[in-house]
Amino acid sequence: MHAPTPSVPAQGTARHWRFLLLFALANAGGTIGYLPLFTVFLPIKVEAIAGADRLNLFTLVAAIGTVAAIAANIGFGWLSDRSLARGRGRRAWLLLGTLGLALAYALFARAESPAQVTLAVVAVQCAANAVLAPLLALMADEIPDAQKGFTGGLLALANPIGAATAWALVQLPGATEPLRLGLLSLVIALLVAPLAFSTARRLPPQPAPLPRGQARRNLAAAWVARLLLQSAGNGLTLYLYYYFADLPPRQTTAAAADFVGRTLVLAYLLPLPCTLLLGRLSDRIGRRKPFLLAAAAVTAGGLLVMGLAGTRTIAVAGFLVYGVGAQLFMALHGAFWMQEMPSERHRGRDLGILNLTNTLPALVGTAIAWMAATPGSFAPLLFLLSGLTLAGGLVMLAVREPA
């Protein structure tokens, strides 16, 4: 077997780092569309409405929102494919989604009942996916394979920006909920608009690196692997606020929200150097699989530490390890998927199918967490999530990369 040939962008196709940064910031804007909602604003709203029944209401609202996200991502991906085929491009959908998020958060701010909260969350999920579905298809359209690993690393900016935004809004002195959510909508618009108004430049047709049959088998294995890791990640994220809030010493709602916000910022910043460095390294050697296997193992280890933790310090350390592994896996997995897609005409739709591994796990992870987690006893859940993560890494052994 010959050594892999390092990937080098064809002359004239490599994108300038400024465009890659614009893309990463726009992705952060789409991520902010939903991340602060589920990590901070929705738990606080649900606790105020439901009190002791908070877990059941939160689970129900999250599950309904997830179903909406599944339909919206595939639908807006398909619509952006149609727009591209008719010569109008995908960028207008980014602006439509940004406007939709502003309206959806205004609806959320006014929600005072379980039904109103659910409706607002559905609106947020639809609008966020109107941004994210066309956005990721743009990455496949306009960024060459030899820059996708590094770009995937840049996409890891989304989570720390989202977590920092949520934390800053919660800490804003004297701010009402409508003001916080209005500022959130403004931040989203500022992040998405520069890419939405940039000039499109599609890549020339590229030969497939593998026979179509093998590429499809690779995609099937990669889809299952990501489904398992994301199911574990969603199960963790959904109850992360309650997990840390239940660790001694107990805190008030405001103090717990502040602690979770600061922890998320740190956990999302720490992986950035790793994802950028290893993403670039995977571009140069033309291999993603070894990095994906290692990332899955690190992620499982972090969850195991969290399950064993008896103090908040050890729990945070485990969560930081988890964050490094999970961010690296997702960054490189996205790059792998995009370069394996069999059809240039249906990238938005095909990425919607990939996005099922982001949205279906919210249902799977929610169901697992609802059955395995109870206030004050999250260890069984975390051990189960660690096992799911390790299984996802093992599935990647079935992938074959070009020699």
What does the DSSP 8-state code read for residue 228? H
- pLDDT-derived band of residue 102, with 50, 70 and 90 as boundaries? very high
At residue 179's C-alpha, the angle toward residues 176 and 184, to 5°, is 125
* Percentages of the chain per state (helix, strand, coil), in multiples of 5: 80, 0, 20
Mean per-residue pLDDT over the chain, rounded? 84
Mean pLDDT for the stretch of residues 323-349: 79
- Rounded to whole angstroms, the Cα distance separating 347 from 239 reads 33
**Cα distances (angstroms) measured from residue 341 to each of 165, 239, 338, 345:** 33, 34, 6, 10
Q: Map tokens 């109107």 to a residue.
A: 130
pLDDT at 47: 84
**What's the pLDDT tens digit per position in 260-317?**
878 877 887 888 888 889 888 888 888 888 899 999 999 999 999 998 988 888 999 9
Longest dimension (CA), the chain: 65
- Rounded to whole angstroms, the Cα distance separating 67 from 60 reads 11
- Rounded to whole angstroms, the Cα distance separating 382 from 346 reads 37
- Rounded to whole angstroms, the Cα distance separating 9 from 26 reads 23
CATH number for the domain formed by residue range(s) 17-201+211-398:
1.20.1250.20
pLDDT at 7: 47
Other beta carbons less than 10 A from residue 208's beta carbon: 13
Whether 331 shows a pLDDT value over 90: the answer reads no
Whether 343 shows a pLDDT value over 70: the answer reads no
Whether 112 shows a pLDDT value over 80: the answer reads yes
pTM: 0.75
Burial of residue 232, with CB atoms counted within 10 A of its CB: 0-12 exposed, 13-18 middle, 19 or more buried: buried
pLDDT at 376: 61
What is the DSSP track for 252-302?
-HHHHHHHHHHHHHHHHHTTHHHHHHHHHHHHHHT--HHHHHHHHHHHHHH
- pLDDT-derived band of residue 11, with 50, 70 and 90 as boundaries? very low
- Rounded to whole angstroms, the Cα distance separating 44 from 66 reads 19
Mean pLDDT for the stretch of residues 195-203: 85
- pLDDT-derived band of residue 210, with 50, 70 and 90 as boundaries? low
What is the DSSP track for 328-391?
HHHHHHHHHHHHH-S-STTHHHHHHHHHHHHHHHHHHHHHHHHHH-BTTB-HHHHHHHHHHHHH
Highest mean pLDDT among 40-44, 45-49, 74-78, 117-121: 117-121
pLDDT at 179: 92
- Rounded to whole angstroms, the Cα distance separating 306 from 96 reads 40
What are the domain boundaries of the chain? Answer: 17-201+211-398
Helix 17-32 with 158-171: angle, nearest 10 deg: 50
**What's the pLDDT tens digit per position in 162-198?**
878 888 888 888 888 899 999 999 999 999 999 999 9
- pLDDT-derived band of residue 52, with 50, 70 and 90 as boundaries? confident
